[in-house]
């Protein structure tokens, strides 16, 4: 009797385990299907979508109907400037520009000194009253603090912060050097009247901000290098894409590379300093 009872308990236990196993198998089927679907989607995306190549440590390049469009990554960038339209007179040479940022920009508004805000408001009133002597006095206060009232995006006068920017990774011939004038004119043609997005990395010994400049989807340093109007400034920037763009212009004999032995601007400046002493 005892043995018979034990056999019944064993059969019941085996049945329960079999039922539980079937339940677990039924429960796992949807999960396996879901995992399979995810894998299929991942494989199809990898196969069908174009791969996104990278250039150096900063610029990601994507194909577009008009060519390459650089997209800045955040690595090493301290902050960005979003400028007002650039005036032609603000281009000093082929690698340096002065830009203005509207103080209404949230990135700027909290940093404007009170005396500058007050001077700008009073200057606007003085100009409206045709009291130009007072307006000029107030203008000096504004300019000495690093600001200026300039035309905004809609043409009205706005208070703007002034920044001098050195284009990162390139060195243009000085204005008095061969192709110095051409480099400046090309940069003017590219940025005049346009707003810029500038990714700032550092400040140089002259107090200029050092950054990468985007002008309506055009990476300005790339444009200038491919035109053969600037050198890759290897002493301060080792990005391989800049070297490649310089090689392309050199191979095509473009710009300064049409010269038999173009002089490096940093060597020209060094020699000029030596002659002074």
- pLDDT tens for 102-113 read 999 998 999 999
Can you tell me the distance from the alpha carbon of 32 to that of 67, in angstroms, rounded to the nearest whole number?
Answer: 43
Whether 186 is catalytic: no
Catalytic residue among 166, 239, 241, 246: 166
Longest Cα separation, the chain: 121
pLDDT tens digit sequence for 177-205: 999 999 999 999 999 999 999 999 999 99
C-alpha neighbours within 13 Å on the C-beta side of residue 91: 25
Q: Which segment of 47-51, 54-58, 138-142, 200-204 scores lowest on mean pLDDT? A: 54-58
Catalytic residue among 123, 168, 174, 239: 174
Question: What is the pLDDT of the chain when averaged over all its residues?
Answer: 82
Can you tell me the distance from the alpha carbon of 79 to that of 76, in angstroms, rounded to the nearest whole number?
Answer: 9
Whether 8 is catalytic: no
- 53 has pLDDT over 60: no
DSSP alpha helices (H): ranges in 63-149?
106-109, 114-128, 132-144
Catalytic residue among 123, 168, 208, 239: 208
Distant-in-sequence, close-in-space partners of 8: CB < 8 Å, separation ≥ 6: none
**Which pLDDT belongs to residue 11?**
56
Can you tell me the distance from the alpha carbon of 183 to that of 91, in angstroms, rounded to the nearest whole number?
Answer: 10
Q: What are phi and psi of 264, to 5 degrees?
A: -70, 135
Q: Which two tokens stand for residue 132?
A: 């130009």
Q: For the structural domain made of 77-256, what CATH number should be given?
A: 2.40.50.90
Whether 208 is catalytic: yes
Burial code (b: 16+ CB inside 10 Å, e: under 16) for 163-201 equals bbbbbbbbbbbbeebebbebbbebbbebbeeebbbbbbb
pTM over 0.85: no
């Amino acid at each position: 009797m005892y043995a018979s009872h034990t056999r019944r308990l064993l059969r019941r236990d085996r049945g329960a385990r079999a039922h539980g196993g079937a339940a677990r198998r039924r429960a796992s089927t949807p999960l396996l299907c879901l995992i399979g679907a995810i894998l299929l989607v991942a494989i199809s995306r990898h196969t069908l979508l174009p791969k996104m190549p990278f250039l150096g440590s900063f610029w990601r390049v994507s194909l577009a109907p008009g060519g390459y469009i650089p997209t800045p990554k955040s690595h090493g960038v301290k902050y960005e400037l979003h400028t007002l339209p650039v005036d032609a007179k603000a281009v000093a040479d082929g690698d340096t520009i002065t830009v203005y940022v509207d103080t209404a920009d949230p990135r700027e508004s909290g940093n404007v000194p009170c005396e500058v805000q007050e001077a700008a408001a009073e200057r606007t009133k003085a100009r409206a009253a045709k009291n130009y002597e007072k307006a000029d006095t107030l203008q000096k206060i504004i300019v000495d603090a690093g600001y200026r009232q300039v035309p905004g995006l809609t043409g009205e006068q706005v208070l703007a912060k002034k920044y001098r920017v050195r284009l990162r990774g390139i060195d243009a011939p000085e204005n008095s050097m061969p192709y110095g004038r051409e480099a400046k004119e090309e940069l003017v043609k590219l940025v005049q009247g346009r707003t810029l997005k500038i990714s700032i990395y550092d400040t140089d010994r002259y107090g200029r901000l050092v950054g990468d400049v985007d002008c309506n989807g055009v990476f300005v340093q790339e444009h200038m290098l491919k035109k053969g109007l600037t050198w890759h400034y290897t002493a301060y920037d080792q990005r391989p894409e800049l070297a490649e763009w310089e090689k392309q212009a050199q191979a095509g004999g473009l710009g300064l590379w049409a010269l038999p032995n173009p002089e490096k601007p940093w060597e020209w400046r060094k020699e000029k300093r030596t002659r002074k002493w």
